[in-house]
Amino acid sequence: MSHKVYTIITIAILSLLIASCAVSPTGRKQMLIYSKGQMSQMGITAYDSMKNEGKLVKDARVNQYVRCVTDALLQHIPAGLSGENWEVSVFSDDTPNAFALPGAKIGIHTGMLKVAEKSGQLAAVVGHEIGHVWADHGNERMSQQTLAQAGLQMVAVLAGEPSTQKNMAMSALGIATQGVVLKFSRDQESEADTIGLEMMAKAGFNPQEAVNLWRRMAEQSQGSNVPEFMSTHPSEATRIERLSQQLSKVMPLYHQARGVGANPQCRPPKV
């Protein structure tokens, strides 16, 4: 490849990096190269695929309960997110999992409902997942992956490997398809915890239940959790400690919300 072409590619990547600079809700610098529309479309596509492949819970009591908790939280998100029609589905799956995707999509596994035994604990889970969408974590992760892949492909181009342009396009598509369901980094997990904790407090859910939730998660994972240094996620102990430290900041929000009548009446049914 000529020096001129190399220069053009380098300038293009640098321009993209400059244009993609953003700041998360907690003030952390981010790099976002995908548009909101692109992320929404990918989230909707992934969600539809999950619904087609999974088994949805039809029990009206379960769905109404999850919807009750979710609706209380959604009153405290930014205008750009609150204007969307959020879809909430409960999946019959014993794994204690939940997720939220761009495009206003939320999924809860029945296994999580067994761990999050109180509405406040479910609010901690759902608030955390909404926090990921609020903070554009899916976009951030995909952007990092895409730019890293682009750098590797540039090296391949310079080395004269064949079909590089085609491989680059296929790799980008693969990243885009998988990006919305990739695990988040420790920083992103911590940020989602912070956002979710404040959100649940403003909605009238006791933030202490977030700590109780992770204590229950720790009990559930005994013997199966991996050391923190080997995982992108904070350990349960680290999470409990950090959330406990944040309680003093969010409890006044909770008391203020209760003082003006915020008291979600969401009663968990038997799962």
In a domain, 15, yes or no: yes
The pLDDT value given to residue 232: 54
The pLDDT value given to residue 52: 94
Side-chain-facing half-sphere of 35: CA atoms under 13 Å? 3
In a domain, 43, yes or no: no
Domain that holds residue 14: 3-33+138-173
Q: In what order do the strands lie in the sheet with 87-91?
A: 87-91, 105-109, 98-101
Taking the C-alpha atoms of residue 125 and residue 98, their distance in angstroms, rounded to an integer, is: 7
Taking the C-alpha atoms of residue 44 and residue 85, their distance in angstroms, rounded to an integer, is: 12
Number of residues that make up the chain: 271
Taking the C-alpha atoms of residue 37 and residue 165, their distance in angstroms, rounded to an integer, is: 25
In a domain, 161, yes or no: yes
Shortest CA distance to 50 belongs to which of 90, 7, 23, 3?
Answer: 90
The pLDDT value given to residue 178: 41
The pLDDT value given to residue 99: 94
**Partners of residue 109 on adjacent β-strands:** 91
The pLDDT value given to residue 219: 86
The pLDDT value given to residue 20: 61
246, two tokens: 């944040």
pLDDT above 90 covers what percent of the chain?
58
In a domain, 168, yes or no: yes
In a domain, 12, yes or no: yes
Q: For the chain, what is the mean pLDDT?
A: 82
In a domain, 164, yes or no: yes
Identify the top-confidence range among 127-131, 224-228, 231-235. 127-131
270: confidence class by pLDDT, cuts 50, 70, 90: confident
DSSP annotation of 34: S
Number of domains in the chain: 1
97 has a pLDDT exceeding 60:
yes
36 has a pLDDT exceeding 70:
yes
Cα distance between the two ends of the chain: 61
pLDDT above 70 covers what percent of the chain?
75
The pLDDT value given to residue 221: 75
Which residues does the annotation mark as catalytic?
129
**Partners of residue 88 on adjacent β-strands:** 106
Greater model confidence, 40 or 152: 40
Cβ distance 172 to 119 under 8 Å?
Answer: no
- Buried/exposed 237-247: b ≥16 CB within 10 Å, e otherwise: eebbebbeebb
Greater model confidence, 73 or 82: 73
In a domain, 74, yes or no: no
Cβ distance 34 to 85 under 8 Å?
Answer: no
pLDDT in tens, 208-221: 999 999 999 888 87
pLDDT in tens, 137-194: 999 988 888 877 765 555 455 455 555 444 444 344 333 344 334 567 888 999 999 9
CA-based radius of gyration for the chain:
21
**Partners of residue 29 on adjacent β-strands:** 23
The pLDDT value given to residue 22: 82
The pLDDT value given to residue 186: 86
In a domain, 263, yes or no: no
Q: Alpha carbon 271 to chain centroid distance? A: 25
